[in-house]
Chain A
Amino acid sequence: MGARRLTLLVVLALLVIAAPFVLSSYWVGLLTEVAILAILAMSLDVLLGYTGLPSLGHASLFGVAAYAVALLSTRYGMNFWTCVFAGLVVGTLASAVIGLIVSHVRDVYFLMITLAIGMVLWGLSYRWIPVTGGDNGLSGIPSLEVHAGLPFAGPTAFYYVTLVVFALSAGAMVLLVRSPFGLTLRGIRENEGRMKSLGFNTWLHCYLSFIVSGFFASVAGVMWAYYNGFVSPTYLDLTASSELFLMVTLGGPATLVGPVLGAGMIVLLKNVMSAYTARWLLILGTVYIVAILTAPKGVWNLGSRRSA
């Protein structure tokens, strides 16, 4: 990463911290959305960008964690830390179980299996009505500030909590991809056969990568449940998974910064554009096409000659 990019990041970080002093609560809300979805997009990047495993069911892990929080907080009246912990554990366990199945396959097969499993989990949220409330979802999740007993409340407080969670998650993921473990993942992406012959247990690495990715997706899921105050099957559906996929590929896979950028671009484009024109879908589509034509490796990789 060049010095120019580093300065850009620092300036961005300062802007993001100062934002609530300048912007109205609506914009702070949108930035919160961006931050949460950025965690989710980065978690997919660990899998898609660094390990080379394209998942089309990633939103389901996020959704499972959100449902766990919703169920425990609304139906069983559990306290904040139990809900958060349970959300993370359930999401991570789900990825551990799914990972057992999917870590054997690569490429398009991985895509198809994760797509299928994502649909199964979506179906479960849609049809297991006594537990999930079906199509109507579960609403009435207490606000995070009240539930956690914070002295502050409101969009700004939630925004800063999200920023802290974002910083911790992003930091952890950056460390992870730069560690020997992360380098091995990149090796598997580039040439799995060679990594195998060097003595690496590539299956285990892929499996662990899937679990780590699932854990950070759960972090985002827990935050999302608290942010929206409700859960519904649309969190897990294919549209959600593919939009997530777009965020990563648009921003630039295997960069971690790219997915954050992608999440920001998509959320802001959608919401800003639709306020001014009913034809916003056309504009969004054009942006995608232009991005694919001019920046096939993602917006963040535009300046660099070699990716990652």
Chain B
Amino acid sequence: MKRTILAIALVCAAAIAFAQTPERPPIKIGFMVPLSGANAQNGRDILNGFLLLLEEAGYQAGGRRIQLIVEDDEGIPAVGLTKARKLVERDQVHMMGGPLLASSAYAIAPYIHAQQIPMVYPVASGDDLTQRRRSKWIVRTGYTSSQPNHPFGEYAYHTLGHRRIATIALDYAFGWESVGGFERTFLEQGGQITKKLWVPLSVHDFAPYLAQVSRDLDAVYVLFIGRTALQFLRQYQEYGLKDRVPVIGMGTTTDEHVLPAMGDEAIGVTTALHYSGALDTPANRTFSAAYRARFKRVPSYYSESMYSGGKWLLTAIEALKGNVENRDVLLDAIRQAQPTGLPRGPVTIDEYGNPVENIYVRRVERVNGVLQNTVIATLPNVSQFWKYNPVDYLKQPLYAR
């Protein structure tokens, strides 16, 4: 009798143990952006978007728990590489996301390629990351610097009716590539760029540049970020130029990371980007409301970048039912993931690993007392190569000053 009871107990115990499939270890996602230094706020926005997405997913996908490991790359390329090494070699992450700056992105790309870690680049927009120096392990879910500017050059000529333009932009690769893309299509339509001014990142006074803006121009194309955007538009108005020469430019100039700090000087500025916080679609309304509720801030394009970029990762994990250990299979799943309901609208990834997406022409307006980037035109399905043949496009050198 005793023996039978023991046997039954053993069988029961075995059955219980069997029924409880051992829980699989969490999927590790490594993430790096600048969280200190001059770009800390933009980095924080990117991280916040990702946090929101993971919270909505309950830190779970494909039946596995997700562990997020965040590192601060300080916006310094060599530090970024050290952090990437830490995430890959010490934390053994399955996949990665980040960084913010193109210089950091270029620095870690060869390492990511050698280590074969699938990675999404949500923001870094250096053209060559998905063009002449691309890696199959890197999928960009953001944009190339010239991507919004190719269609915007044509739009400025035909719809805005500008013929003679001067450009004032920050003097680094992001500025060169953006202005380069705009210049190319604008000139092809027959427009004229009278002057190209380059402003160092450390600029504190725009007077020497504004003095060179001729008042008979049709428009000034500008590219700034953060503090420089704020100061430029303010000084532009003080110089009495605002009512004489309209300002157009790259979307970062009036992006929501800096727009709430601006005043009337920003009204009327027309820019191009693949997102606007004021984009009036159900998906963006939901995202925007959730983001405001969680972080008490308006979402910027940085916030949206990794909310959407993270969806490629989560969709791939779901598709693989959490079996992310085989990196080739994981990479394919990320490239083939077609996440829907993105705040910025429909996106597909081209064979070079860069999105084909809508570009929005936005104009700053005051609605209910608050400044916003009202979308005045949607330019659909814009590729990084615009209307050019990719093979011919890649034979040309990268846009430079």
Give every chain A residue within 8 A of B85 (Cβ-Cβ): 26, 29
Interface residues of A in 95-125 (CB under 8 A from B): none
Q: Which of B376-397 contact A (CB under 8 A)?
A: none
Closest to B81 in A: A228
For A137, the chain B residues whose CB sits under 8 A away are 77, 103, 106-107
- Nearest CB in chain B: distance from A28 CB, A: 9
Give every chain A residue within 8 A of B107 (Cβ-Cβ). 137, 139, 228, 230, 232
Say yes or no: is B36 at the interface (Cβ < 8 Å to chain A).
yes
**A271 is an interface residue with CB less than 8 A from chain B:** yes
Structural contact, B172 and A135, CB atoms closer than 8 A: yes
A230, B90: Cβ atoms closer than 8 Å = no
Q: Which residue of B lies closest to A230 (CB)?
A: B107
- Taking a contact as CB atoms under 8 Å apart, the answer to whether B106 and A139 are in contact is yes
Closest to B35 in A: A278
Q: Mark B65-90, 1 if CB is under 8 A from A, else 0.
A: 00000111000111001110110011
Q: Is the beta-carbon distance between A139 and B110 smaller than 8 angstroms?
A: yes
Q: Cβ of B82 and Cβ of A271 under 8 Å apart? A: yes
Question: Bound state CA distance, A181 and B102, in angstroms?
Answer: 47
Q: Which of B86, B109, B126, B400 has most chain A Cβ within 10 Å?
A: B86
A29 to B86, CA, bound (A): 9
**In the complex, which residues 125-141 of chain B have their Cβ closer than 8 Å to any Cβ of chain A?**
126, 128, 133
Q: What are some 21 contacts across the A-B interface (CB < 8 A)?
A: A24-B89, A26-B86, A26-B89, A134-B176, A135-B103, A135-B173, A136-B103, A137-B106, A139-B107, A140-B110, A230-B77, A230-B106, A232-B103, A234-B76, A234-B78, A234-B103, A235-B78, A239-B76, A271-B86, A274-B83, A280-B72
Min C-beta distance of A308 to chain B, whole Å: 32
0 or 1 for each of A44-68: is its CB under 8 Å from B? (1 = yes): 0000000000000000000000000
Is A25 interfacial (CB-CB < 8 Å)?
yes
Measured CB to CB, the closest approach of chain B to A178, in angstroms, equals 33
Q: Is B401 positioned at the interface, with any CB of A under 8 Å from its CB?
A: yes
Which residues of B are interface residues toward A (Cβ below 8 A)? 35-36, 70-72, 76-78, 81-83, 85-86, 89-90, 102-103, 106-107, 109-111, 126, 128, 133, 171-173, 176, 400-401
Q: Which of A151-176 contact B (CB under 8 A)?
A: 155
Contacts of B36 in A (CB 8 A): 281
- Complex: how many Å from CA A26 to CA B111? 13
How far, in whole Å, are A193 and B176 apart by their CA atoms in the complex? Answer: 53
Contact with B along A126-144 (1 / 0, CB 8 A): 1101100011110110000
Among B36, B70, B82, B133, find the residue whose CB has the most chain A CB atoms closer than 10 A: B82
Residues of A within 8 Å of B89, CB to CB, are: 24-26, 29, 155
CA distance A274 to B70 in the complex (A): 10
Name A24's contact: one of B90, B171, B173 (CB within 8 Å): B90
Residue A275 at the chain B interface, CB threshold 8 Å: yes
Residues of chain A contacted by B111 (CB below 8 angstroms): 229
A129-B400, A278-B72 are known contacts; what are 12 more A-B pairs with Cβ within 8 Å? A27-B90, A29-B89, A134-B400, A135-B172, A136-B103, A136-B126, A139-B106, A230-B81, A232-B106, A239-B76, A274-B83, A278-B35
- Please measure, in the bound complex, the distance between the C-alpha atom of A281 and the C-alpha atom of B172, giving whole angstroms: 27
Please provide the chain A residues from 249 to 308 with a CB less than 8 Å away from any CB of chain B in the complex.
271, 274-275, 278, 280-281
State the 9 A-B residue pairs at the shortest beta-carbon distance, nearest first. Answer: A26-B90, A26-B89, A135-B172, A232-B77, A135-B173, A25-B89, A136-B106, A230-B107, A234-B76
Contacts of A140 in B (CB 8 A): 110, 133
Residues of B within 8 A of A24 (CB): 89-90
What mask results when residues 238 to 252 of chain A are scored 1 for a CB within 8 Å of chain B, else 0? 010000000000000
B329–chain A nearest beta-carbon distance, Å: 24
Find out whether the CB atom of B35 lies under 8 angstroms from the CB atom of A230: no
The CA of A230 and the CA of B110, in the complex, are separated in Å by 9
* Distance between Cα atoms of A291 and B343 in the complex (Å): 50
**Bound CA span A24–B77, Å:** 23
Known A-B contacts A136-B126, A234-B77; the reply to A129 vs B110 at CB < 8 A is no
> Nearest chain-B residue to A155 (Cβ)?
B89
With both beta carbons as reference points, the residue of chain A lying nearest to B109 in the complex is identified as A139
User: What separation, in Å, do the CA atoms of A274 and B71 have in the docked complex?
Assistant: 7
Interface residues of A in 170-202 (CB under 8 A from B): none
Interface residues of A in 77-107 (CB under 8 A from B): none
The answer for the CA separation of A139 and B126 in the assembled complex, in Å, is 14
Contacts of B77 in A (CB 8 A): 137, 230, 232, 234
Inter-subunit contact A136/B102 (CB<8 Å): yes
Docked complex: A219-233 residues within 8 A CB-CB of B: 228-230, 232
A140 to B77, CA, bound (A): 14
Q: How far is the CB of A73 from chain B (nearest CB, A)?
A: 13
The CA of A130 and the CA of B400, in the complex, are separated in Å by 9
Counting chain A CB atoms within 10 Å of each CB, which of B77, B102, B109, B110 scores highest? B77
Chain A min CB distance to B131 (Å): 12
Contact indicator B401/A129 (Cβ below 8 Å): yes
Q: Are B110 and A134 in contact (CB under 8 A)?
A: no
On chain A, the residues within 8 Å of B106 by CB distance are: 136-137, 139, 230, 232
- Is the beta-carbon distance between A134 and B172 smaller than 8 angstroms? yes
Chain A residue, CB-CB nearest to B401: A129
| Residues of A contacting B71 in the complex (Cβ-Cβ under 8 angstroms) | 274-275
A residues near B110, Cβ cutoff 8 Å: 139-140, 229-230
Looking at A25, A137, A280, which has the most chain B CB atoms within 10 Å of its CB?
A137
B residues near A234, Cβ cutoff 8 Å: 76-78, 103
CA distance A25 to B86 in the complex (A): 9
Closest to B106 in A: A136
Which A residue's beta carbon lies closest to that of B101? A135
CA distance A229 to B85 in the complex (A): 13
- Alpha-carbon separation in the docked complex, A25 to B107 (Å): 19
